[in-house]
Amino acid sequence: MSKHIKGVTISQVADAAGVARSSVSRAFTRPEMLSPETVNRIMAAADQLGYRPNHTARALSTGRYGNIALIVPDIANPFFPPMIRAAQMQADSANFCIFLGNTEENGEKEDQLIGRFTGQVEGLILASPRLSDERIWAHAEKLPLVLINRDIPGISSVLIDSSVGVAEAVTHLAKLHHRKMVYISGPPVSWSNRQRQEAFDKTALALGVETATVPTLRPDFESGRKAVEAMLATGATAGIAFDDLTAQGVLTGLAERGISVPADFSLIGCDDVLGSVTYPALTSISSQSSEAGQAAIALLLEMLQTSKHADLRHMIATHLVVRNTTREPHSAVTSG
Amino acid sequence: MSKHIKGVTISQVADAAGVARSSVSRAFTRPEMLSPETVNRIMAAADQLGYRPNHTARALSTGRYGNIALIVPDIANPFFPPMIRAAQMQADSANFCIFLGNTEENGEKEDQLIGRFTGQVEGLILASPRLSDERIWAHAEKLPLVLINRDIPGISSVLIDSSVGVAEAVTHLAKLHHRKMVYISGPPVSWSNRQRQEAFDKTALALGVETATVPTLRPDFESGRKAVEAMLATGATAGIAFDDLTAQGVLTGLAERGISVPADFSLIGCDDVLGSVTYPALTSISSQSSEAGQAAIALLLEMLQTSKHADLRHMIATHLVVRNTTREPHSAVTSG
DNA sequence: ACTTGACATGCAACCGGTTGCATGAAAACT
DNA sequence: AGTTTTCATGCAACCGGTTGCATGTCAAGT
């Protein structure tokens, strides 16, 4: 029916109310500057015409866009939706809108998306970025930037400190008398993966537990399933997977081989995004991705207000959530 | 370190290249209007200064914002991420950016978000909106609008036609000799739920199968788990759940009661968002939410180009994906 | 009554681009 | 050579707001 609809402008309201454009503007932004009657008159006219301030025009003249871009590698990875959701809500409460970008785990696309957002966002949040430190620095020079799950000197970030949770997990398994454990690893470029691997190795070493590592291609269900063969070949009786998706793949791979969890093999995931949704309910390392999303926005907003490129760090603690996928190994039952 | 960074403007580039601002503008938007040498000179200057066109300024003067808002009730519901992702990619390929809004299943918040997006988006996509028809009409009058999973006369929409898939599911179960089936329903306001319930009842009636319905509060894991008791009380030997999340809850509830799937009970989900990720792998009705996301953007872009508020409809077919949660009931094994 | 100040409002420039029209120079035509 | 056409470029207005400063009015101060 109707064609391109021209919005009602400040000028039309001004005419209708018999005032200058600037007064209309002030009626909306600083009403205390105007007499109450004038404000009322303007508001009445505005309501009547159905006036809505134009976000874009306002942004152009003030330089405050009221938008934030959030860029993630893969929306479909269950780690991210809670994070995005929390970020959204936090931004919302400060009257900011969120641009969402999905990079398909691809650094180039990440660059490209950032480019597309310039000139319409006040700040940028990069979650688990795949870009090089250099590129990230370059962007951080032009725009307030907060990283999630990436640690680069001089750039603010929200870090999920998996090391505690991983240590708890290894200790938990050791207490159950597992003598050999395997780490099913994630993307080598991932900061989280490196951190988890290190904590795994370190804790195991301290406890005198034997270790092995099985690499995977991507953090997803299929990779986990395919890793099962190599995992079993290590002779380990328990495993910790890079994330819950991978763990779920492992769970399925084990079931397909008739290997029962936790009776025959103990498994722990990371991120706790599937939680009790699997069966048996997956023991996992909780990492509150939603808190990360919320904190990242809060950090960014703070940087915007103080208008300086601070180098802040927000650490998020993790802890083990024990459910039903861990138990003593057979060897322990007989020997202990 | 650096304060608020002023971007390089067209004027600076113009000065550097010794041309008028308009020429710089044209060099980027319609280079064929300029002599190749001039374009080169301008581009060189722009590169050297690190010029990036300001999206906002451009939007203001052209009226083309290059942005689309996508509003969903709950990002964390696994039905949506694939949809959002597909929408993102489709928008991306047309150089559009996506604003994401999360309404927390709340109609008021939906209204509020839409308001915040006005004046910076060219179009709106509402996925499974909780708003009244009237409110949606009001918004559609001001902005090109596409609905997903909601059917309102006069407004374009992308509809996932579950009826075929549900009919297939009921038929599949009937062929396995199930004589009584239960539908674990979703939100009453949901268009999809009504559609599924109707298809369920109709097909069952046609096949002479006995039916029952169990209500749930929200489409999530817990609701499914809590529905198990009522579900079993119906005496049905098979069930179809409103969505996969609910089905997964049911799966867990059954397992907790020692009821084996599919040996003792057959279960089918909807949306196929968890797919083979559950164990046993869930038989489900595939509904390609990603296709819905892609199609919605395509539709919207088409409306923007033809610049008319067309009333288009895109139907998405569904079909049953049989995995490992359905089998003949005990009664059938003995009797047949 | 005359100055001073406070306050409400208007004027006009500006944010960073885009675009219709005017201009001038070179190319094509007679 | 004189005139018309073509083409590249510049000028200036405009998109819809915001904001520093100027102006006018009215009440308070002396």
Q: Is residue A2's pLDDT more than 50?
A: no
pLDDT tens column, B129-146: 989 999 999 999 889 999
Of the candidates A57, A99, A119, the beta carbon closest to that of B54 is on: A119
Q: Is residue B225's pLDDT more than 90?
A: yes
Query: Rounded to whole angstroms, how far apart are CA atoms B320 and B325?
Result: 12
Residue A131 lies in a domain: yes
Query: Rounded to whole angstroms, how far apart are CA atoms B231 and B186?
Result: 14
**B143 and B83 in one domain?**
yes
CB contact under 8 A, A3 and B85: no
Q: How confident is the model at residue A5 (pLDDT cuts 50, 70, 90)?
A: low
Q: Which residues contact A151 (CB under 8 A, 6 or more apart)?
A: A157, A159, A191
Tokens describing residue A237: 């009786």
**What distance in Å separates residue A233's CA from the closest CA in chain B?**
23
Q: How far is the CA of A33 from the C1' of C3 (A)?
A: 26
**B116 and B90 in one domain?**
yes
What is the pLDDT at residue A309?
Answer: 64
Query: Rounded to whole angstroms, how far apart are CA atoms B244 and B269?
Result: 5
CA angle A232, A236, A237 (to 5 degrees): 100
Residue A206 lies in a domain: yes
**A132 and A14 in one domain?**
no
Q: How many CB atoms lie within 10 A of CB A3?
A: 8
**A34 and A88 in one domain?**
no
**B326 and B192 in one domain?**
yes
**Mean predicted confidence (pLDDT) in A101-115:** 91
Query: Rounded to whole angstroms, how far apart are CA atoms A114 and A70?
Result: 10
**B81 and B124 in one domain?**
yes
Contacts 24+ apart (CB under 8 A), A232-237: A232/A257, A232/A259, A234/A180, A234/A182, A235/A180, A236/A178, A236/A180, A236/A181, A236/A182, A236/A210, A236/A212, A237/A178, A237/A179, A237/A180, A237/A181, A237/A265, A237/A266, A237/A329, A237/A330, A237/A331
Q: Which residues contact A319 (CB under 8 A, 6 or more apart)?
A: A164, A165, A168, A285, A286
**A241 and A183 in one domain?**
yes
Residue A32 lies in a domain: yes
pLDDT tens column, A278-301: 778 899 999 889 999 999 999 999
How many residues are present in chain B?
336
Query: Rounded to whole angstroms, how far apart are CA atoms B315 and B128?
Result: 15
Query: Rounded to whole angstroms, how far apart are CA atoms B83 and A75?
Result: 10
Q: Which residues contact B138 (CB under 8 A, 6 or more apart)?
A: none
Strand C within 7 A of A54 CB: no
Nucleotide nearest to B61 (CA to C1'): D15
Residues B98, A100: contact at Cβ < 8 Å?
yes
What is the pLDDT at residue A264?
Answer: 96
Q: What percent of chain A has pLDDT over 70?
A: 96
Tokens describing residue A263: 């009776």
**B325 and B230 in one domain?**
yes
Residue A304 lies in a domain: yes
User: To probe the interface with A, which of B279, B288, B290, B323 has the most A CB atoms within 10 Å?
Assistant: B279
Q: Which nucleotides of C are covered by protein (CB under 7 A)?
A: 7-12, 14-20
Q: For residue B252, which residues of chain A lie inside 8 Å, CB to CB?
A: 276-277, 279, 281
Query: Rounded to whole angstroms, how far apart are CA atoms B69 and A132?
Result: 30
The DSSP string of B32-53 is GGS-HHHHHHHHHHHHHHT---
User: To probe the interface with B, which of A92, A277, A278 has the most B CB atoms within 10 Å?
Assistant: A277
Q: Is residue A1's pLDDT more than 70?
A: no
**A240 and A122 in one domain?**
no
Strand C within 7 A of A59 CB: no
Q: Does residue A336 or residue B201 have the better pLDDT? A: B201
Cα torsion A113, A118, A121, A125: sign: positive
Q: How confident is the model at residue B9 (pLDDT cuts 50, 70, 90)?
A: very high
The DSSP string of B242-292 is SSHHHHHHHHHHHHHTT--TTTT-EEEEEE-SSGGGSSSPPEEEE--HHHH
CB contact under 8 A, A119 and B67: no
Q: Is residue B259's pLDDT more than 50?
A: yes
Q: For residue A279, which residues of chain B lie inside 8 Å, CB to CB?
A: 251-252, 255, 278-279
Strand D within 7 A of A4 CB: no
Kindly report which listed range (B9-18, B33-42, B184-193) carries the lowest average pLDDT score. Answer: B184-193
Which residues from the 1-60 window of protein chain B have CB within 7 angstroms of nucleic acid chain D?
18-23, 26, 33-35, 37-38, 57, 60
Query: Rounded to whole angstroms, how far apart are CA atoms B106 and B148?
Result: 16
**B129 and B176 in one domain?**
no
- As a whole number, the mean pLDDT across chain B is 92
Residue A60 lies in a domain: no
What is the pLDDT at residue A306?
Answer: 81
Residues B323, B282: contact at Cβ < 8 Å?
yes
CATH number at residue B267: 3.40.50.2300
Q: For residue A59, which residues of chain B lie inside 8 Å, CB to CB?
A: 56, 120
Q: Which residues contact A16 (CB under 8 A, 6 or more apart)?
A: A45, A48, A49
Residue A265 lies in a domain: yes
Q: Is residue A307's pLDDT more than 80?
A: no
**Mean predicted confidence (pLDDT) in B220-248:** 95
Residues A23, A14: contact at Cβ < 8 Å?
yes
Strand D within 7 A of B72 CB: no
Of the candidates A4, A75, A95, the beta carbon closest to that of B84 is on: A75
Q: For residue B57, which residues of chain A lie inside 8 Å, CB to CB?
A: 60, 119
Strand C within 7 A of B7 CB: yes
Find which of A270-274, B85-89, B276-280 is predicted with most confidence, using mean pLDDT.
B85-89
Residue B60 lies in a domain: no
pLDDT tens column, A17-32: 999 999 999 999 999 9
Which residues from the 22-41 window of protein chain A have CB within 7 angstroms of nucleic acid chain D?
22, 25-26, 28-29
Helix (H) or strand (E) holding A218: none
Name which of A318, A238, A245, A240 is nearest A275 in CA terms: A245
Strand C within 7 A of B324 CB: no
Tokens describing residue B47: 């590169």
CA angle B165, B169, B174 (to 5 degrees): 145
Q: How confident is the model at residue A308 (pLDDT cuts 50, 70, 90)?
A: low
Query: Rounded to whole angstroms, how far apart are CA atoms B323 and B269?
Result: 11
Query: Rounded to whole angstroms, how far apart are CA atoms B82 and B128?
Result: 15
Q: Is residue A191's pLDDT more than 60?
A: yes
**What distance in Å separates residue B202's CA from the closest CA in chain A?**
32
Task: Please state whether A258 falls in left (phi above 0), alpha (psi between -120 and 50) or beta.
Answer: left
Strand C within 7 A of B28 CB: yes
**B197 and B327 in one domain?**
yes
**B326 and B208 in one domain?**
yes
Query: Rounded to whole angstroms, how far apart are CA atoms A243 and A195?
Result: 13
CB contact under 8 A, A53 and B279: no
Place of tokens 């290059």: B66
Nucleotide nearest to B33 (CA to C1'): D8
What is the pLDDT at residue B335?
Answer: 43
Q: How far is the CA of B91 from the C1' of C15 (A)?
A: 28
Q: Is residue A277's pLDDT more than 80?
A: no
CB contact under 8 A, A308 and B3: yes
Residue A3 lies in a domain: no
CATH number at residue A30: 1.10.260.40
Strand D within 7 A of A54 CB: yes
Of the candidates A3, A7, A76, the beta carbon closest to that of B82 is on: A76
Containing domain of residue B207, as a range?
A: 161-288+321-335
What is the pLDDT at residue A335?
Answer: 44
Specify the number of domains making up chain B. Answer: 3
Of the candidates B65, B97, B119, the beta carbon closest to that of A116 is on: B97
Of the candidates B5, B76, B99, the beta carbon closest to that of A98 is on: B99
Q: How confident is the model at residue A7 (pLDDT cuts 50, 70, 90)?
A: confident
Q: At what angle do helices A80-93 and B80-93 cross, to 10 degrees?
A: 70
pLDDT tens column, A67-106: 999 999 999 888 999 999 999 999 999 999 999 999 988 8
Q: What percent of chain B has pLDDT over 70?
A: 96
Nucleotide nearest to B51 (CA to C1'): C16
Q: How far is the CA of A334 from the C1' of C13 (A)?
A: 87
Residue nearest to nucleotide D9 (CA to C1'): B23
CB contact under 8 A, B99 and A100: yes
CB contact under 8 A, B84 and A74: no
